[in-house]
Amino acid sequence: MCYRIASLLLIVFVSGCAAGPATPSLAPLDSGTSLPSSSPTPPLVVVISPTPGPTVPVLLSTPSPDYCADPRVQAVLAAFTTALKDLDDAALAETIDPVDGLDIFYRIANAPVHITPTEVVGLFNNTFTYTWGDQAGSGLPVEGAFSSEILPLLLNVFDQTNALVCQDLATGSGTGPTTALVEWPAQFAGMPFVAVYRAAGVQDNELDWRTWAVGFTVVNGQPKIRVLVQYAWEI
């Protein structure tokens, strides 16, 4: 009898526990329902006015003393010199007109050799044989790669003590004594140029001088080298 009572009480107790309150389930959110959230704090915006500075003058592709003295022109000449000495093709290409390339006159009496913008990249290692013109006096053709025929003559001026003369090829100013015709190429008339003049040394023959005149264009507001003309003593 006691056993049956105890069993009955245990069944009632267990049934009472199972019949406790159930945990409510969350209804799914509709696709158009959003959870409430607090409004974000707008960021603090600080506007700083530009600092006033000197206005950079527009570089016009016209001959003038101001053009020659422009720091941008001087910087291109310096970069060109460094590229020649370092044999740096990429640096050289940065100084050359990227649209029209470079024309090189071995002598003013010869037709120029045109170097395309593509050829400028790799010019120091290019073994292509160009016909640059003819030698003064002998009339023999000057043929060979840029690195063998033109580079040494450029370094003979740009890697030596020289003078930068603005658009002046007069004897004793932009060039030395010679019987040859000394003038800027007619097909590039109106183009600003700087004569890079390496005079003869004190102990040298006065005829041992050389000049490279450098003509410039302006591309996207920046000066670029477009023409190189060599002048030296001739009979």
| Least confident stretch, 14-23, 56-65, 119-128 | 14-23
Q: Stretch 8-33: mean pLDDT, rounded? A: 42
The pair of structure tokens assigned to 20 is: 């406790």
Q: Is 77 within the bounds of a domain?
A: yes
For the entire predicted model, the pTM comes to 0.76
Q: Indicate the SS3 state at residue 43.
A: coil
In the predicted structure, residue 173 carries a pLDDT above the cut 80: yes
| Per-residue buried b or exposed e for 6-24, using 16+ beta carbons within 10 Å of the residue's own CB | eeeeeeeeeeeeeeeeeee
Q: Is 4 within the bounds of a domain?
A: no
Q: Is 97 within the bounds of a domain?
A: yes
In the predicted structure, residue 179 carries a pLDDT above the cut 80: yes
Domain carrying residue 119: 65-232
Q: Is 46 within the bounds of a domain?
A: no
What CATH number does the domain containing 203 carry? 3.10.450.50
Q: Are 169 and 175 in contact (CB under 8 A)?
A: yes
The string of pLDDT tens digits covering residues 115-148 is: 999 999 999 999 999 999 999 888 899 999 999 9
Q: Is 30 within the bounds of a domain?
A: no
The number of folded domains in the chain is 1
Q: Is 3 within the bounds of a domain?
A: no
